[in-house]
Amino acid sequence: MDQEKEFLEKEIIGKKTEVDTDTNGNLTKDQIESQQEVGVSYWSLVKHQFKKNKLAMISFYIVSILIVIAVTADFLASSKPLYAVYKGETYFPVIKDYMNDVGINKWDASLINVNWKELDNQNKLESVIWTPVPYGSREIDLSNALSPPAGDHYLGTDGIGRDLLAGLIHGSRVSLSVGFIAAGIALLIGIVLGSMAGFFGGKVDLIIMRFVEIMVTFPLFFLIITIVAIYGSSIWFIMAAIGLTTWTGDAKLIRGEVLKVRNMEYITAANSMGLPNKQIILRHVLPNAIAPVLVSGAFAIAGAILTEAGLSYLGFGVSATTVTWGSLLNEARSASNAWWLAIFPGVMIFIAVVTYNLIGEGLRDALDPRLRD
Amino acid sequence: MTEYVIKRILLFIPTLIIITMITFLVCRLAPGDPTEMKIGATQEAQKTDAKNQMTEQAKEFYKKKFGLDKPLPIQYFIWIGNMLQGDFGNSFKDNRPVLDKITERLPVSITISFLSFMLIYTIAIPIGIYSAARQYSLLDRSTTVLLFILYSLPNFWVATLAIVFLCNVEYLKIFPTAGIRSENFDTLGSFDKFKDLFMHLFLPVTVTSLAAFAFLSRQMRSSMLEVIRQDYIRTARAKGLSERKVIMKHALRNSLIPIITLIGGLLPAMVGGSIIVETIFSIPGIGQLAFQAILDRDYPLIMAELVIASLLTVVGILVVDILYSFVDPRIAFTKKTA
């Protein structure tokens, strides 16, 4: 027994020392390269491949900019100034609005409904810095209704005098949040049901896939409008309605990936070690099956943004007072000579949809090992 | 084959049960009283207490009439039973049979769908074949970009642009704004009639087709590229066949298979998409009817449309699967479960 052990040790150690070295005892160039190759993880390979795709990278930057715009919308377009000095006091009205909403720092009763623009026009403000677009998205100005792009209204105004650019900036919030959350809901349902169907197979698979087939036969847009129209058009209902109806593609995709992974040796190993199914799925199956889901996630965001825009275009939007890209575009139908209303909101929807689609395509190509050189 | 079809039709039963259940629950679990919509219109004029009592009575009357006073499961079974006898109920709005309202509008929608199918399949497929056969040529690259843009264009934006810029005296007035025929249609000669219909249908059909057109063309291209890489294509070329013959005879037939499945997938998209297009262009089809039904909360109509649209899709998918076997004899019916 001991002899055998010794022999094995020798064998292993012997192999270790048998590494080819050049005359100086250093590793050869080939070996260094191969070691580096091992060091490159799957995801950094994907990242590298994705970065080579110019269109996808441009889309990625545009999406990042859109997200920044959505997050900082109040600082880009607001009816209140960023900074103002009034009666010797310094104010930061936009920031103060946030604090007021949270309840940290209340507005003075005398200032809560003050019209800062009026004050500025009357030269009562000693010093003032306005937001880049000095209008809020809900600021109605009937005397300036349907004015073409000119002056302070960089992109013109809509039928009740709201600034179009301010509307587009604030509308990006609705579009992006609906896009992300609806796609997230769809992905979550798709991953759970798809991985269950793929992993357990048999009856579970049959039932889940049957349900998927049934969902596919529904006219989805009609179903979504019905749900939103009947149950109320809050942003949460819209997200839920889109997410709950569009998960079927993700489920099918994940199921296929899980089927590929399920019969791998490491899953058998995990099984024989007595791990519970839940742990096997979460720790061993899903991480190896998840990559293609990223692709469908990107497409799902594009689809959800499009659906939300379509809903608010038809008048089933977030709410009557919230401005969205779709609701702005809808106004073009009743304003016969307002070309700016027909073009700019549509361009925004188009850009959002195209960029997510391009990112999806870029990811798909990056994940495809056949395209790797 | 017959055995397979019968099996598939039997599988319709659970599918239909779930479709009808989802439809029923979505519409019946809605907050608010469906009779309120019915009463609402007359309520404005009635302000005294005595009249209020009348609306209460009217509510009861309508509840009885539409069977809303019974428990939900019973309502469900009554609804299903009536549907099996071809009775989809009466509209809340004008009390006409829902099925009549749908069938009188069906021809318009089918015409538009059929025309856009023709447009898609006669133009998109050749484009796909051509760009695959000449991969990386100028034409291939430009159509790829163009089709990608087409695919991502929201159809309601295109429709709005068309209405604002092409149907508007302020800019260009090329096409009529709404409807499917002019008011003086009946007085026109047969050529003018054709022209009138063409002008009315051109924009709706084009807009309906856009996304599906781009999608199909892209699919055709990638499916063709997949086939062209196969060994038997190399063999065909090695035999000295002309490139035309290789593409049209050997590659095309095999690359058409995935395209056929897409017909089934396009069906529900067209029924759903037609809501937007028909609403924008004021076309009296089922899409517009559905939109109006949703606005009116006309539940019998909404439910009937959802069920009929799903049913059409289920049948469409079955037809596609059968078509599939004619194109690809390798597919054995007996092994397929669903």
Under a CB-based contact definition with an 8 Å cutoff, are residues B199 and B176 in contact?
A: yes
Report how far residue B46's alpha carbon sits from residue A143's, in angstroms, rounded to the nearest whole number. 38
Nearest CB neighbour to A350, from listed B157, B168, B280:
B157
C-alpha separations of A341 from A163, A317, B76 in Å: 11, 17, 46
User: Per-residue DSSP letters for B84-149?
Assistant: HTT---B-TTT--BHHHHHHHHHHHHHHHHHHHHHHIIIIIHHHHHHHHHTTTSHHHHHHHHHHHH
Report how far residue A84's alpha carbon sits from residue A68's, in angstroms, rounded to the nearest whole number. 24
- DSSP-derived secondary structure letter, A40: S
Dihedral sign for Cα atoms in the order B110, B116, B118, B121: negative
Query: Cα angle at A254 between B254 and A205, to 5 degrees?
Result: 90
- Please report residues of B whose CB lies closer than 8 A to that of A62: none
Report how far residue A93's alpha carbon sits from residue A114's, in angstroms, rounded to the nearest whole number. 11
Can you read off the two tokens belonging to residue B229?
A: 């890489």
Q: What is the largest CA-CA distance in chain B?
A: 93
Q: Helix axis angle, B286-296 relative to B299-327, nearest 10°?
A: 150
Under a CB-based contact definition with an 8 Å cutoff, are residues A286 and A226 in contact?
A: no
Q: How many Å lie between the alpha carbon of A308 and the closest alpha carbon of chain B?
A: 11
- Quote the pLDDT of residue B46: 47
Q: Does the beta-carbon distance from A350 to B153 stay under 8 Å?
A: yes
Q: Which residue of A has its CA nearest to B19?
A: A214
Question: Residue A208 is inside which H or E element, if any?
Answer: helix A202-217
Q: Helix axis angle, B2-28 relative to B299-327, nearest 10°?
A: 160
Which of A168, A222, A307, A336 is the mutation pick for testing B, counting most B CBs within 10 A?
A: A222
> If interface means Cβ-Cβ distance under 8 Å, which residues of chain A face chain B?
206, 209-211, 213-214, 216-223, 225-227, 229-232, 302, 306, 309-310, 313-314, 326, 329-330, 332-333, 336-339, 342-343, 346, 349-350, 353-354, 357
Which of B141, B150, B157 is the mutation pick for testing A, counting most A CBs within 10 A?
A: B157
Can you read off the two tokens belonging to residue A174?
A: 């609705």
Q: Does the beta-carbon distance from B276 to A216 stay under 8 Å?
A: no
User: Per-residue DSSP letters for B281-325?
Assistant: TT--SHHHHHHHHHHHT-HHHHHHHHHHHHHHHHHHHHHHHHHHH
Report how far residue B92's alpha carbon sits from residue B163's, in angstroms, rounded to the nearest whole number. 33
Q: Which of the pair, B320 or B59, is modelled with greater confidence?
A: B320
- Quote the pLDDT of residue B208: 86
- Region of poorest pLDDT, from A11-15, B113-117, B212-216: A11-15
Residue A184 dihedral angles phi and psi, to the nearest 5°: -65, -45
Q: Does the beta-carbon distance from B19 to A221 stay under 8 Å?
A: no
C-alpha separations of B164 from A156, A335, B161 in Å: 16, 9, 5
Question: Residue B327 is inside which H or E element, if any?
Answer: helix B299-327
Which residues contact residue B230 at a Cβ distance below 8 angstroms, ignoring those fewer than 6 apart? B254
Under a CB-based contact definition with an 8 Å cutoff, are residues A98 and A75 in contact?
A: no
What integer is the mean pLDDT of A242-259?
Answer: 90
| pLDDT > 50? residue A16 | no
Dihedral sign for Cα atoms in the order B280, B285, B291, B293: positive
Q: Does the beta-carbon distance from A309 to B276 stay under 8 Å?
A: no
Confidence of residue B194 (pLDDT cuts 50, 70, 90): confident
Which of B152, B296, B337 is the mutation pick for testing A, counting most A CBs within 10 A?
A: B152
| pLDDT > 90? residue A99 | no
Q: Does the beta-carbon distance from A336 to B169 stay under 8 Å?
A: yes
- Quote the pLDDT of residue A262: 85
Q: How many Å lie between the alpha carbon of A222 and the closest alpha carbon of chain B?
A: 5
- Please report residues of B whose CB lies closer than 8 A to that of A221: 272-273, 275-276
Look at phi and psi of residue B95 and say left if phi exceeds 0, alpha if psi is from -120 to 50, else beta. left
ipTM of the predicted assembly exceeds 0.95: no
- Quote the pLDDT of residue A187: 93
- Please report residues of B whose CB lies closer than 8 A to that of A343: 161
Q: Does the beta-carbon distance from A310 to B169 stay under 8 Å?
A: no
Q: How many Å lie between the alpha carbon of A256 and the closest alpha carbon of chain B?
A: 17
Which residue in the block uniquely carries the two structure tokens 């998109």? B124
Under a CB-based contact definition with an 8 Å cutoff, are residues A213 and B338 in contact?
A: yes
Which of A217, A227, A314, A340 is the mutation pick for testing B, counting most B CBs within 10 A?
A: A217
- Note the pLDDT tens digit of each residue in A271-320: 899 888 888 888 888 888 888 888 889 999 999 999 999 999 998 877 77
- Note the pLDDT tens digit of each residue in B120-140: 888 888 898 888 888 888 888
Provide, for chain A, the percentages of residues in helix, strand and coil under a 3-state DSSP scheme, each rounded to the nearest 5: 70, 5, 25
Report how far residue B182's alpha carbon sits from residue B169's, in angstroms, rounded to the nearest whole number. 17
What integer is the mean pLDDT of B181-201?
Answer: 80
C-alpha separations of B243 from A303, B140, B228 in Å: 39, 17, 11
Confidence of residue A18 (pLDDT cuts 50, 70, 90): very low
Report how far residue B306's alpha carbon sits from residue A219's, in angstroms, rounded to the nearest whole number. 7
Report how far residue B265's alpha carbon sits from residue B41's, in angstroms, rounded to the nearest whole number. 40
What integer is the mean pLDDT of B221-237?
Answer: 88
Percentage of residues in chain A having pLDDT higher than 70: 87
What integer is the mean pLDDT of A121-127?
Answer: 79
Q: Does the beta-carbon distance from A336 to B306 stay under 8 Å?
A: no
C-alpha separations of B240 from A162, B234, B243, B245 in Å: 69, 10, 9, 10
Confidence of residue A345 (pLDDT cuts 50, 70, 90): very high
For residue A316, give the nearest of B279, B91, B337, B36 by alpha carbon. Answer: B279
Report how far residue A209's alpha carbon sits from residue B33's, in angstroms, rounded to the nearest whole number. 35
Strands (E), chain A: 83-86, 89-91, 125-129
Q: How many A×B Cβ pairs under 8 Å?
A: 127
Report how far residue A190's alpha carbon sits from residue A187's, in angstroms, rounded to the nearest whole number. 5
- Please report residues of A whose CB lies closer than 8 A to that of B297: 229-230
- Quote the pLDDT of residue A28: 58
Report how far residue B22's alpha carbon sits from residue A222's, in angstroms, rounded to the nearest whole number. 13
Nearest CB neighbour to A214, from listed B19, B157, B290:
B19
pTM for this prediction? 0.83
| pLDDT > 80? residue A115 | no
Can you read off the two tokens belonging to residue B58?
A: 């009217």
Q: Does the beta-carbon distance from B160 to A333 stay under 8 Å?
A: yes
For residue A161, give the nearest of A180, A183, A135, A185 by alpha carbon. Answer: A135
- Quote the pLDDT of residue A189: 94
Q: How many Å lie between the alpha carbon of B271 and the closest alpha carbon of chain A?
A: 6
- Note the pLDDT tens digit of each residue in A270-282: 889 988 888 888 8
Q: Does the beta-carbon distance from A221 to B148 stay under 8 Å?
A: no
Look at phi and psi of residue A123 and say left if phi exceeds 0, alpha if psi is from -120 to 50, else beta. left
Average pLDDT, chain B: 80
Confidence of residue A69 (pLDDT cuts 50, 70, 90): very high
Report how far residue A245's alpha carbon sits from residue A222's, in angstroms, rounded to the nearest whole number. 11
- Please report residues of B whose CB lies closer than 8 A to that of A210: 14-15, 338
